[in-house]
Amino acid sequence: MLKRPVQTAALNGPVLWSATTTAGRITSYSLTEKKTLSTVTVPGARCVPSELQAAGRWLYWACGTASAGVYDTKAGTSRAVTPGDVLLGDGFTVRHDHAADTLVLTDAATGATRVLASEVPDTGLAADRRHRWAVDEYTGLVAWFDVHERTRVATTGFTPSAPTAFETDTGTWTDLTTSTPWTGTWLLSRPVTSWSLTFTSVESGETGKATRTLTGGAAIAQVAAKWDRKTAGGVRFPNGQYKWTLKATGLGTSTAVTVGSGSGSLTGGSPVRHDYGSPDGVDGIGDLIAQDKSNNLYRYDGKRTGAFKAGVKIATKWGASYHACVGVGDLNRDGIGDLICRDTSGKLFRLYGNGKGGFGARTQIGTGWGGYKALY
């Protein structure tokens, strides 16, 4: 809950625009982040505004009946408009001219005006907006009662702004060893006719990088999605990082735009080559195993930058009889890198990774391998 002195304000999604005690100065405050986002001085606003309205990138301000304007929060510019019985739309204002019985449309970007509707009678009220007429800021439609009490609807011709995400709630870590799916919800700035959510793995698994796209239809305010952490063919995504991108087509438009993007980490998925894990588990990054002349075994965790962290000793008196060892991927399908080693007598051994950066007891799986120059 936000408590503060009474002051002129307007809400646009989670952003609260408020007048200050200084003429022309307005602040934006994030209700979700609980912090002030910006403080701006609106060009042309020479008063402490008595009214504010917000829609998309636009902010309507008025100094009583003396002056008014529309501030472009992206461009930082303000366009003067006639004050009065006004409602703000997405890129325009509509004013009820009580003397002429008309609704007057003003382009917020250019200031150009035209009569949108006639025979909109004066009710004797100083403002009859939202009572006798209204603006749908999401579609650009304007509705009113005419002199015969018939309901009229007109389009303004303004292309709605692209949808954005007011709020995003997605998982940042998911484990495929559980049955709990990845979930995400997005609170949108406007209705959409369709959406698509694409996941792409950062790391490459046994079949390369993985991708998956989920799609959905019309949504009024919220998109919700569940993902099983697999490709469309049912293959588990590789361990490690993944990225997601949400695109949506706004109502009244025909082109999909990016609404949001993010990333997360996945475990229990397909193995990444040479990922032997650490005490924290596998991370989808290739590691290096090295044996020194004193038969100490070290693990060098990968950094995802082509370099390695400092070595960690994971065994002593290890493999004195080994002639060659090689990381062969995931032999037992548990998502952890394993080793194959050959000793000087030609015996072949398998060592399963334990997922914590070390290896379990060896198991002999072959003999007569001494004639080969190397293992790959």
Torsion 6-11-16-19 (CA) sign: negative
Tell me: the pLDDT tens digits for 280-299?
A: 777 788 888 898 888 888 98
Torsion 63-50-11-53 (CA) sign: negative
Q: What percent of the chain has pLDDT over 90?
A: 67
Tell me: the pLDDT tens digits for 212-266?
A: 999 999 999 999 999 999 999 999 999 889 999 999 999 888 899 999 999 999 9
Cα atoms in the 13 Å half-sphere on the side-chain side of 5: 4
Tell me: the pLDDT tens digits for 339-362?
A: 999 998 999 999 998 888 889 999
Q: Which residue shows structure tokens 């409602």? A: 87
User: Is the pLDDT reported for residue 172 higher than 90?
Assistant: yes
User: Is the pLDDT reported for residue 304 higher than 80?
Assistant: no
User: Is residue 306 exposed (0-12), middle (13-18) or buried (19+ Cβ within 10 Å)?
Assistant: exposed
Cα–Cα dist 40/29, whole Å: 12
User: Is the pLDDT reported for residue 196 higher than 90?
Assistant: yes
Tell me: the pLDDT tens digits for 221-230?
A: 999 999 999 9
Cα–Cα dist 4/367, whole Å: 80
Query: First and final CA of the chain: distance in angstroms?
Result: 62
Cα–Cα dist 347/142, whole Å: 83
Read off the tokens for 64: 């009583």
Tell me: the pLDDT tens digits for 18-31?
A: 999 999 999 999 99
Tell me: the pLDDT tens digits for 36-93?
A: 999 999 999 999 999 999 999 999 999 999 999 999 999 999 999 999 999 999 999 9
pTM for the complete prediction?
Answer: 0.78
